[in-house]
């Protein structure tokens, strides 16, 4: 895994002295094993390398034989050997064993459509000096980041936002809409960033920039459709699921360096660890984080999982003094990012990097197989459920010889059945962190127009999936929004801070396409409130190895003890008080000072107000670190 940066300038503009070097230095932590540059005809490509495949010859930027195509590439292709064989039969000649060279030759053979043939995680900038185009591309799920900045006479791109602050131009203007979206969803949804004129390239897309400055819109090359396939016994589905997951784990183990696994003791990470233990001859090293607060710590389950898999477990306890790294983490995310589990992710990545340069993780299992608690709530609400309840009332009234009441309840039921099965407003109510009324009270009145904006990303997902099965709708919206913008972003930044590559066998288009076609009962089984079973098929696989009570315990998540850490005398409260102590703190330029300070007053042992506290703490830290960014 690597850090990439680049810029294209037109109108005869030359590369600015030191610009490319500064951009590339900003992502140096992503690639400690090497650095390289290309400057040619207004194009600059920079690269920082973390050597995982072909450490000796995979140096970048890399070119084809006649140096007409150059690439700076961040990622891993798990099917690069198969593609290399296919391309060799078509006459292509290779001089390295790296997947980067395969990308170059795949582009030469298939053009921009080459990305449709890739299985892996990647983001790259490819300069084609024959056709005089720069191509930017990102993998199917957005595992690897790609940001780009559009300026007067240039487009810059990089793995992190910080690199785009190094472009020779004025400081990009801040984006108030992005702040309000962040307060709603815990992150800034694609394509927006905290800056105007700086964007995230969407997952499963590419764009091209001509050397004269003409630019295409992002082109989507792949999408996931949840359409269940009927037929087949439960045993047959179980066997196919296990084969699909095992094959993906095997594909993700392609590397020339040692590797391990993140192991929380949850269903997904345990399943990955088990499959690794069955595939590998050498002992697997696992890494887990715990907390002193027992109700938040899964260490005992990680220990049970490691024992069941027969693997070695390395552990560390995270205490509230861990928040000392929060300002640095806020800086690395480049924009406000509110998922507090970035803290334990940072620590488990540091722990793993002391032993190995690469790990596998269980991320994506909830989105693929239907595991989040909100899916249970979503499936047990909505117009169809309400309509069925009203029909029961109508039948009961009729049995009690009250036909007028029965007719009334029947009419109410029919109204419910005519309503849309899924609505974005209902779904977003489950996902909101700070609701509209609360945000309206916190923003200063002159900024209330930010409420007029919605997220194009959510709207597009809703448009495509609104008529689907209720579970499919929820999974699809999460796949488009929460998975790339929160989960994958969190892991990428926290792990690459330490130069650790994290691979995700469940965030794989072969696994996801299989899971999206599963009959709903293989993903989710009704069982009444609190008794429904999500991730049914993966839990059945684990039941072959682990006790039922281990597999079916209540999902815990990976969050910090947020309510406790904001309590009296704890580190979260102290940091909050420092950020909000000054009457002229940057946070108060846009938000009501007394209302913001009052958030802490409403946090008591009996009333948890830690979600907005955390969001505004992160935002306040980011604003402190970026005093030159103007939002007006």
Low-confidence ranges of the chain (pLDDT < 50): none
Q: Quick check: 194 and 179 in contact, CB under 8 A?
A: yes
- State the number of CA atoms in the 13 A half-sphere of 439 facing the CB: 21
Task: Tell me what pLDDT residue 240 has.
Answer: 96
Find, among 237, 221, 222, 249, the residue nearest to 506 by Cα: 249
Quote the CA–CA distance of 573 and 568 in Å, as a whole number: 7
Q: Report how far residue 275's alpha carbon sits from residue 147's, in angstroms, rounded to the nearest whole number.
A: 34
Phi, psi of 525 (to 5 degrees): -115, 125
Which residues, at least 6 apart from 291, have a Cβ–Cβ distance to it below 8 Å? 297, 317, 318, 319, 344, 560, 561
User: Whole-angstrom distance between the N-terminal and C-terminal Cα of the chain?
Assistant: 38
| Contact predicate 345/488, CB 8 Å | no
In contact, 146 and 578? CB cutoff 8 Å: no
Looking at residue 86, what is its pLDDT?
A: 97
Nearest to 60 by CA among 75, 38, 42, 80: 38
C-alpha 473/C-alpha 479 separation (Å) is: 10
Q: How many angstroms separate the CA atoms of 596 and 617, rounded?
A: 10
* Burial tier of 473 (Cβ tally within 10 Å: 0-12, 13-18, 19+): buried
d(CA 210, CA 554): 53
3-state secondary structure at position 44: strand
pLDDT of 375 reads 92
Largest CA distance in the chain: 88
Q: Is 445 helix (H, G, I), strand (E, B) or coil?
A: helix
Give the residue range(s) of CATH 3.40.50.620 domains in the chain: 234-371+482-551
Residue ranges, CATH 3.60.20.10, the chain: 2-220
Q: Which tokens belong to 166?
A: 């190094």
Q: Are 537 and 237 in contact (CB under 8 A)?
A: yes
325, 346 in Cβ contact below 8 A?
yes
CA distances to 135, 344, 389, 459 from 557, in Å? 38, 11, 32, 27
pLDDT of residue 17: 78
The matching CATH number, chosen from 3.40.630.30, 3.65.10.10, 3.60.20.10, 3.30.40.10, for 2-220 is 3.60.20.10
* Confidence (pLDDT) at 80: 95
Q: Where are the beta strands (DSSP E) in 109-252?
A: 120-128, 133-138, 147-151, 154-158, 198-200, 205-210, 219-220
**Percentage of residues of the chain with pLDDT beyond 90:** 76
Structure tokens at 621: 């830290």
Return the ∠ at Cα 616 (arms to 612 and 619), rounded to 5°. 145
Nearest by Cα to 435 from 573, 612, 241: 612
State residue 36 phi and psi, 5-degree precision: -155, 160
Residue 628 DSSP SS3: coil
Taking phi over 0 as left and psi of -120 to 50 as alpha, with beta for the rest, 592 belongs to beta
474 within 8 A of 378, measured Cβ to Cβ: yes
Structure-token pair, residue 83: 């593609």
What's the sign of the alpha-carbon dihedral 344, 348, 351, 357? Answer: negative
- For residues 74 and 544, give the distance between their C-alpha atoms in angstroms, rounded to a whole number: 38
Distance in angstroms (rounded) separating the CA atoms of residues 564 and 202: 36
Class of domain 234-371+482-551: alpha beta
| The two three-digit tokens of residue 416, written as one number | 């419910």
pTM of the model: 0.93
| Alpha-helical segments (H) within 189-341 | 234-252, 267-279, 299-309, 326-333
């Amino acid at each position: 895994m690597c850090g990439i940066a680049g810029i294209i300038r037109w109108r005869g503009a030359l590369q600015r002295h030191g610009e490319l070097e500064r951009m590339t230095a900003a992502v140096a932590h992503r690639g400690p094993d090497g650095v390289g540059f290309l400057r040619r005809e207004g194009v600059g490509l920079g690269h920082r390398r973390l050597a995982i495949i072909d450490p000796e010859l995979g140096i970048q930027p890399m070119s084809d034989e006649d140096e007409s195509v150059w690439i700076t590439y961040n990622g891993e292709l798990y099917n690069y050997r198969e593609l290399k064989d296919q391309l060799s039969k078509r006459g292509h000649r290779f001089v390295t064993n790296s997947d980067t060279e395969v990308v170059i030759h795949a582009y030469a053979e298939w053009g921009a459509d080459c990305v449709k043939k890739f299985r892996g995680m990647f983001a790259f900038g490819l300069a084609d000096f024959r056709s005089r185009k720069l191509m930017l591309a990102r993998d199917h799920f957005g595992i690897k980041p790609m940001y780009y900045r559009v300026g007067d006479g240039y487009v810059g791109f990089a793995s992190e936002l910080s690199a785009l602050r190094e472009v020779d131009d004025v400081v990009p203007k801040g984006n108030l809409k992005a702040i309000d979206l962040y307060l709603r969803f815990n992150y800034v949804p694609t394509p927006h960033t905290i800056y105007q004129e700086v964007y995230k390239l969407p997952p499963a897309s590419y764009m091209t920039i001509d050397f004269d400055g003409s630019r295409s819109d992002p082109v989507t090359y792949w999408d996931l459709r949840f359409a269940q396939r009927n037929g087949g016994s439960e045993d047959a589905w179980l066997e196919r699921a296990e084969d699909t997951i095992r094959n993906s784990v095997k594909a993700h183990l392609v590397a020339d360096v040692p590797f391990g696994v993140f192991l929380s003791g949850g269903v997904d990470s345990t399943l990955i660890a088990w499959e690794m233990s069955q595939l590998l001859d050498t002992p697997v090293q696992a890494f887990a984080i715990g907390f002193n607060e027992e109700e938040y710590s899964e260490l005992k389950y990680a220990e049970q999982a490691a024992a069941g898999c027969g693997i070695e477990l390395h552990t560390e306890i995270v205490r509230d003094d861990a928040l000392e790294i929060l300002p640095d983490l806020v800086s690395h995310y480049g924009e406000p990012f509110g998922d507090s589990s970035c803290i334990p992710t940072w620590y488990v990545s540091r722990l793993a990097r002391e032993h190995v340069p690469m790990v596998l993780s269980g991320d994506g299992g909830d989105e693929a197989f239907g595991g989040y608690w909100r899916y249970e709530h979503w499936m047990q609400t909505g117009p169809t459920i309400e309509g069925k309840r009203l029909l029961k009332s109508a039948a009961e009234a009729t049995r009690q010889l009250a036909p007028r009441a029965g007719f009334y309840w029947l009419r109410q039921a029919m109204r419910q059945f005519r309503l849309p099965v899924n609505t974005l407003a209902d779904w977003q109510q489950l996902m909101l962190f700070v609701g509209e009324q609360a945000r309206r009270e916190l923003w200063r009145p002159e900024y209330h127009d930010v409420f007029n904006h919605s997220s194009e990303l959510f709207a597009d997902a809703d448009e495509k999936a609104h008529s689907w099965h209720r579970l499919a709708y929820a999974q699809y919206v999460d796949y488009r929004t929460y998975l790339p913008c929160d989960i994958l972003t969190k892991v990428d930044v926290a792990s690459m801070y330490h130069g650790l590559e994290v691979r995700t066998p469940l965030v794989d288009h072969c696994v996801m396409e299989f899971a999206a076609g599963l009959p709903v009962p293989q993903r989710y089984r009704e069982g009444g409130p609190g008794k429904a079973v999500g991730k049914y098929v993966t839990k059945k696989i684990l039941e072959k190895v682990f006790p039922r009570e281990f597999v079916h315990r209540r999902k815990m998540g990976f969050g910090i003890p947020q309510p406790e850490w904001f309590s009296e005398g704890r580190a979260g409260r102290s940091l909050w008080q420092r950020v909000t102590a000054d009457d002229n703190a940057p946070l108060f330029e846009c938000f009501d000072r007394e209302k913001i300070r009052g958030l802490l007053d409403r946090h008591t042992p009996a009333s948890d107000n830690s979600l907005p506290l955390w969001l505004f703490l992160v935002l306040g830290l980011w604003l402190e670190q970026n005093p030159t960014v103007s939002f007006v």
